């Protein structure tokens, strides 16, 4: 590779200091530009002077950054709109109408106000609550009407009118052709029935007791707490489903239903009681419809599948209109569940004085659904006092002296058998409330002898069966009926020779009024109310199984003796001062009997207050369970 040659150039000629060629040319150019600008400016001034003057806008304020951004955004949008306007305008797309929204369902008409504990939802189902709603809406107005009619009738009695057989229904009584509908086979032999509350252990024991029938009681033998009522329904549902057996967690004892159990009959509450834990259309449902409706809805079909049917005892009726209401309820319920008319069979308790004068009419109104009547003696005594609360001519002696077979009790018992058998229905005897007396064989034998004598009287009077309150009394009563009633029943004994008049039905028992009888009423009444407030409806007191009926008798008789200043044996006159003195002394006895600790931990102050208010009230309170219910609901 050839090496490049570097030639040395001659140095450039130096210009005169301060007078280079380039400098001279640049200056000339600048001078020409200035002259041209001045000329152009003069022309512009002349042009503006000749033009019309425009309005001068005030100087705008300097804009913030946010303002600048907004102005720029508007300018961009304006340009985009102008650009879009030059293009073909398309038709706007029609908006689709929104799909119709289904209205939300209305809230149910029923409200369960009681707590929903374990398994309650198994009976308080939507279907069951809708069934109860239908019953309530259909029959609540009629229920209120018959209760109002009760009150009006009582006003007439208070004014001095006496109960009597109805003139307007004489044709029904005189017609000898009608009879009640045929009665199912498992109700033909009812010689011994046992009654009790609906707790699980009691149900199993009663079904296994050897009695022919068991009356599961939501009424007088039950304290109507929310838990008792709903759990009772769960227990009965379990029985018909075949799984009521259980092991007691405390004793570890196994309870299960044996073969050939008693036939089950359910007693709902009376028309006068509400169930405040369930409202329909913001009103409490009738306790009667609540008890009946839940049991029938859940178990009727299972019962038919096992060869029996829904059987009921109906309490506290006072007129044939009230019986008609029950008959209408039965017809409605059967149709609603698709069952034949006459599936349900009921036995009506004749336990009020007004109802005793309408027995034939009650049978007639329920002739498609009735199986018989029962002589509910304890409530009947209470009703006698209540009916004549304002009449001083009907003051009763000690309740221990108001016995069956005499006076008004004997007359009504005889009329009941004659009426039922003549129309083809069964007549059921009253309750034997005695219970075994442990540790005193002589006293126990004496108590059982009383039961035996009472049942012998019932068989002789023509009754087809009887009641007991304790399993140990089942064999006592059964022995009497087996010995004296060789056939399943005595319906064929019509007893047409029996003739009972109005005055026979109103005859007061002869007897005495004693200080001990007065004080016994205080002790029994307060102890029962205290137990009832604690959730127990069947309470053993002084060797008798007491229920609400005996407590009603106790407080009613104390009220009656106070109202009319009854004179007791020994010259003591019943007054408010005597009542307060006796109440204090008897509660000291009760405290000693039950123990100071139990007395202090119990609800005795509330029970005493309720009893005192009932006994000292100016007017007779129809049922103690109505004011007392407020304390458990």
In this predicted structure, the answer to whether residue 231 has a pLDDT above a threshold of 60 is yes
In this predicted structure, the answer to whether residue 6 has a pLDDT above a threshold of 60 is no
Rounded distance between C-alpha atoms, residue 217 and residue 410, angstroms? 26
Say what the alpha-carbon torsion angle 614, 620, 626, 630 is, to the nearest 10 degrees: -40
In this predicted structure, what is the pLDDT of residue 254? Answer: 96
Average pLDDT estimate for 262-270: 98
Question: For this structure, is 609 an active site residue?
Answer: no
Instruction: Convert the pLDDT of each residue in 555-574 to its tens digit.
Output: 999 999 999 999 999 999 99
Would you state the structure tokens that stand for residue 170, as one six-digit string?
């004489």
In this predicted structure, the answer to whether residue 25 has a pLDDT above a threshold of 60 is no
Would you state the structure tokens that stand for residue 420, as one six-digit string?
């039922």
Instruction: Convert the pLDDT of each residue in 134-187 to its tens digit.
Output: 999 999 999 999 999 999 999 999 999 999 999 999 999 999 999 999 999 999
Strands of 80-173 (E only): list them: 110-112
In this predicted structure, the answer to whether residue 1 has a pLDDT above a threshold of 50 is no
In this predicted structure, the answer to whether residue 9 has a pLDDT above a threshold of 90 is no
In this predicted structure, what is the pLDDT of residue 149? Answer: 98
Rounded distance between C-alpha atoms, residue 181 and residue 370, angstroms? 8
| Residues facing 275 on adjacent strands | 285
In this predicted structure, what is the pLDDT of residue 14? Answer: 46
Catalytic choice (454, 461, 464, 547): 547
Instruction: Convert the pLDDT of each residue in 84-108 to its tens digit.
Output: 455 555 566 666 777 777 788 889 9
In this predicted structure, the answer to whether residue 375 has a pLDDT above a threshold of 60 is yes
Q: Mean of the per-residue pLDDT values for the chain?
A: 90
CB distance 112 to 124 below 8 Å: yes
In this predicted structure, what is the pLDDT of residue 44? Answer: 53
DSSP, residue by residue, 460-522: HHT-SEEEESSGGGHHHHHHHHHHH--SS--TT---TT----HHHHTPPPP----HHHHHHHH
In this predicted structure, the answer to whether residue 292 has a pLDDT above a threshold of 90 is yes
Element spanning 312, H or E? strand 311-314
Average pLDDT estimate for 71-86: 57
In this predicted structure, what is the pLDDT of residue 76? Answer: 60
In this predicted structure, what is the pLDDT of residue 79? Answer: 61
Rounded distance between C-alpha atoms, residue 343 and residue 307, angstroms? 12
In this predicted structure, what is the pLDDT of residue 67? Answer: 59
| Residues facing 200 on adjacent strands | none
In this predicted structure, what is the pLDDT of residue 239? Answer: 98
Which pLDDT band, with edges at 50, 70 and 90, does 509 fall under?
Answer: very high
In this predicted structure, what is the pLDDT of residue 382? Answer: 97
Which range among 94-108, 363-377, 511-525 shows the weakest confidence by mean pLDDT? 94-108
Question: For this structure, is 267 an active site residue?
Answer: yes
Smallest Cα–Cα separation from 351: which of 437, 409, 286, 307? Answer: 409
Which range among 4-18, 52-66, 159-173, 253-267 shows the weakest confidence by mean pLDDT? 4-18
Catalytic choice (267, 399, 523, 536): 267
In this predicted structure, what is the pLDDT of residue 30? Answer: 52
Which pLDDT band, with edges at 50, 70 and 90, does 16 fall under?
Answer: very low
Cβ partners under 8 Å of residue 368, min gap 6: 180, 181, 327, 341, 342
- Would residue 253 be called left, alpha or beta, if left means φ above 0 and alpha means ψ between -120 and 50 degrees? beta
In this predicted structure, the answer to whether residue 11 has a pLDDT above a threshold of 50 is no
In this predicted structure, the answer to whether residue 57 has a pLDDT above a threshold of 50 is no
Average pLDDT estimate for 458-474: 97
Average pLDDT estimate for 322-340: 98
Which pLDDT band, with edges at 50, 70 and 90, does 27 fall under?
Answer: very low
Rg of the Cα trace of the chain?
47
In this predicted structure, the answer to whether residue 367 has a pLDDT above a threshold of 90 is yes
Cβ partners under 8 Å of residue 505, min gap 6: 163, 353, 356, 357, 408, 411, 412, 415
Q: Spell out the SS3 assignment of 366-403.
A: CCCCEEEEEECHHHHHHHHHHHCCCCCCCCCCCHHHCC
In this predicted structure, the answer to whether residue 446 has a pLDDT above a threshold of 90 is yes
In this predicted structure, the answer to whether residue 598 has a pLDDT above a threshold of 80 is yes
Which CA distances in Å does 162 have to 155, 159, 371, 438?
11, 9, 30, 46
Which pLDDT band, with edges at 50, 70 and 90, does 603 fall under?
Answer: very high
In this predicted structure, the answer to whether residue 35 has a pLDDT above a threshold of 60 is no
CB atoms within 10 A of CB 284: 18
Report the DSSP pairing between strands 192-196 and 110-112.
unpaired
In this predicted structure, the answer to whether residue 26 has a pLDDT above a threshold of 60 is no
Which range among 63-77, 129-143, 160-174, 232-246 shows the weakest confidence by mean pLDDT? 63-77
Instruction: Give the residue with greater pLDDT, 618 vs 89.
Output: 618
């Amino acid at each position: 590779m050839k090496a490049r040659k570097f030639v040395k150039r001659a140095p450039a000629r130096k210009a005169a200091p301060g007078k280079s060629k380039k400098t001279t040319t640049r200056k000339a150019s600048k001078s020409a530009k200035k002259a041209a600008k001045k000329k152009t400016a003069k022309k512009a001034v002349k042009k503006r002077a000749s033009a019309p003057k425009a309005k001068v806008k005030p100087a705008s304020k300097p804009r913030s950054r946010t303002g600048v951004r907004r102005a720029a955004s508007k300018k961009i949008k304006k340009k985009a709109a102008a650009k879009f306007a030059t293009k073909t305008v398309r038709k706007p797309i029609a908006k689709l109408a929104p799909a119709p929204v289904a209205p939300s369902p209305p809230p149910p008409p029923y409200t369960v106000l009681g707590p929903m504990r374990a398994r309650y939802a198994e009976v308080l189902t939507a279907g069951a609550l809708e069934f109860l709603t239908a019953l309530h809406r259909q029959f609540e107005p009629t229920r209120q009407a018959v209760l109002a009619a009760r009150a009006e009738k009582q006003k007439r009695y208070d004014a001095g009118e006496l109960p009597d057989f109805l003139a307007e229904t004489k044709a029904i009584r005189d017609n000898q052709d009608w009879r009640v509908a045929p009665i199912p086979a498992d109700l033909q032999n009812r010689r011994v029935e046992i009654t009790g509350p609906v707790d699980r252990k009691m149900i199993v024991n009663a079904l296994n007791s050897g009695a022919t029938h068991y009356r599961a009681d939501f009424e007088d033998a039950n304290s109507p707490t929310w838990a008792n009522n709903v759990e009772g329904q769960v227990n009965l549902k379990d029985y018909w489903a075949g799984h009521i057996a259980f092991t007691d967690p405390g004793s570890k004892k196994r309870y299960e239903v044996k073969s050939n159990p008693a036939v089950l009959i359910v007693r709902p509450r009376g028309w006068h009681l509400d169930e405040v834990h369930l409202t329909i259309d913001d009103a409490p449902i009738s306790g009667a419809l609540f008890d009946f409706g839940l049991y029938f809805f859940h178990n009727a079909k299972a019962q038919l599948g096992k060869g029996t049917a829904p059987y009921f005892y109906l309490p506290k009726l006072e007129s044939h209109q009230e019986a008609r209401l029950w008959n209408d309820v039965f017809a409605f319920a059967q149709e609603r569940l698709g069952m034949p008319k006459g599936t349900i069979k009921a036995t009506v308790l004749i336990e009020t004085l007004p109802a005793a004068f309408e027995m034939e009419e009650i049978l007639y109104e329920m002739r498609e659904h009735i199986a018989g009547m029962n002589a509910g003696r304890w409530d009947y005594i209470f009703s006698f006092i209540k009916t004549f609360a304002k009449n001083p001519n009907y003051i009763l002696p000690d309740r221990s002296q108001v016995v069956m077979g005499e006076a008004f009790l004997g007359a009504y018992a005889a009329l009941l058998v004659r009426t039922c058998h003549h129309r083809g229905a069964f007549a059921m005897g009253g309750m034997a409330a005695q219970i075994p007396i442990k540790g005193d064989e002589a006293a126990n034998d004496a108590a059982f002898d009383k039961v035996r004598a009472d049942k012998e009287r019932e068989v002789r009077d023509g009754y087809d069966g009887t009641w007991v309150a304790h399993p140990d009394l089942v064999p006592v009563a059964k022995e009497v009926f087996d010995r004296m009633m060789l056939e399943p029943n005595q319906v064929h004994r019509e007893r047409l020779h029996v003739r009972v008049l109005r005055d026979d039905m109103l005859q007061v028992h002869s007897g005495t009024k004693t200080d001990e009888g007065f004080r016994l009423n205080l002790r029994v009444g307060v102890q029962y109310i205290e137990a009832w407030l604690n959730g127990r409806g069947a309470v053993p007191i002084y060797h008798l199984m007491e229920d609400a009926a005996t407590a009603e008798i106790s407080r009613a008789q104390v009220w009656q003796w106070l109202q009319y200043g009854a004179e007791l044996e020994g010259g003591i006159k019943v007054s408010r001062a005597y009542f307060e003195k006796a109440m204090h002394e008897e509660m000291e006895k009760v405290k000693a009997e039950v123990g100071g600790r139990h007395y202090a931990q119990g609800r005795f102050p509330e029970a005493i207050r309720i009893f005192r208010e009932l006994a000292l009230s100016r007017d007779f309170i129809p049922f103690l369970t109505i004011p007392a219910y407020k304390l458990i609901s």
